[in-house]
Structure 1
């Protein structure tokens, strides 16, 4: 359900678009700009009901394995929206992207930038229940 809400929120929400002179920025360029301004990648640990981390599935998993530890989730269908989180001084920036990822070939472009922080419950690895 949360994934469906994520997809609809991205499709219909308004927000500041991160653009360069040639249009929307690829996530790697937008990320480099944020890092140069003192923002840090914010890793999240949200999981599906079966305990699998969102950031390790599909395109999110591919981007995570290529160093984008701040990727929270990707829709995996349609326009393939993804969410990336950054923090600086207790404030958050979230970038939403559109498009697929293939290392060295193509990457998603930023279509929205907000000051939304991730759910606090997703900021720490889940604790395992003791038997």
Structure 2
């Protein structure tokens, strides 16, 4: 389910600004350090300083690009933030430097030898505390220096933007879009040989140190997600404190066989919550919408404590 603003697709992709400001599509071609027109072209190649080779970059996901880059420019619109800070207490020097350039940092993680930072140019306040994020990028930094940038390319039908990121198990992060109800777009995976790949979402994820397997149920109607989860060993197990009764919406889903239904919101996006138990821990699922079978908006596992 999408809740796109009419202005969502009208923003210029900020990667174009990044490239124009000095980011390069080739690891060693930094316009800021190009020789002047009067520089000699007869220098002995053996005297040229060696440069560190950039990472091998590739994208397997249509619309998402990743290129070598070296500079994050200042964001030109200082009044484009309607939602306030998206992350409290930035940790890495890279994230702080991006914020100082006028961008809104939406996530950071240390993975694959990089400080990975997601950042957006504009935010738009929505209902129920939601926020639309546009002009989004994911930067890969080493030692505070930008090495590569991932972004959503322009093209027919492009109606989304990178919004944020979250750390997942393995040498990877997950990119989320910037919609009012965020959806995952792809993973960035870091290989031992240094290669960096923007990869399609897997059919399932390992969770809790590999103790459990969690199928990809994103955007599924809850009745289908229920069947997929039960088949994968997740047992419906709602968590209702005390004698709390289900609200009408949750009770309706319960009567239709979704015994994991816990509660639903009667306003805004119509969120509903559901609970499951598995060998790895407790799974919480949130759906959105007022259809007969609401669709999965997000989910996550709280791992059980090891003995």
Q: Which category of TM-score, normalised to the shorter sequence, fits these structures?
A: 0.5 to 0.7
Q: What is the alpha-carbon distance in structure 1 between the residues aligned to residue 264 and residue 300 of structure 2? A: 17
Q: 1:14 offset after TM fit, Å?
A: 7.5
- Give the structure 2 partner of residue 25 of structure 1: 220
Q: How many residues align?
A: 96
Provide the residue aligned with 2:283 in structure 1: 93
Unaligned runs of 5+ in 2: 1-127, 132-163, 167-182, 185-216
- Change in Cα spacing, 1:116 to 1:82, as seen in structure 2 (3 Å) is farther
Tell which structure's C-alpha radius of gyration is larger: 2
**1:35 positional shift:** 0.4
Deviation at 1:44, TM superposition (A): 2.5
Residue 265 of structure 2 corresponds to: 75
**Residues 73 and 36 of structure 1, relative CA distance in 2, 3 Å threshold:** same
Cα distance in 1 for residues equivalent to 2:265 and 2:227: 23
Output the CA distance in 2 between the equivalents of 1:57 and 1:64: 10
Instruction: Please provide the CA RMSD for this pair.
Output: 2.7
Cα–Cα, structure 1 residues 99 and 45, in superposed 2: closer, same or farther, change >3 Å?
same
SS in 2 for 1:115: strand
Seen in structure 2, the aligned counterparts of structure 1 residues 14 and 42 have a Cα distance that, compared at 3 Å, is farther
- Does the aligned pair in 2 maintain the 1:96–1:112 contact within 8 Å? yes
Matches for 1:46-125 after TM superposition, within 5 Å: 46=241, 52-53=244-245, 56-89=246-279, 91-101=281-291, 106-116=292-302
Partner of 2:230: 35
Pair 75,27 (structure 1): closer, same or farther in 2 beyond 3 Å: same
Q: Where do 5+ consecutive residues of structure 1 fail to align?
A: 1-6, 118-131
Structure ranking higher in helix proportion: 1
- Contact 1:58–1:76 (CA<8 Å) still a contact in 2? no
Task: Report the Cα offset of residue 52 of structure 1.
Answer: 4.5
**Match of 1:45?**
240
What CA distance in whole angstroms lies between the structure 2 residues aligned with 1:74 and 1:88?
A: 23
Choose between structure 1 and 2: higher strand proportion.
2
Give the structure-1-normalised TM-score.
0.61
In the aligned structure 2, how far is the partner of 1:64 from the partner of 1:43?
A: 10
After TM superposition, the runs of 4+ consecutive aligned structure 1 residues lying more than 2 A away are: 11-19, 43-47
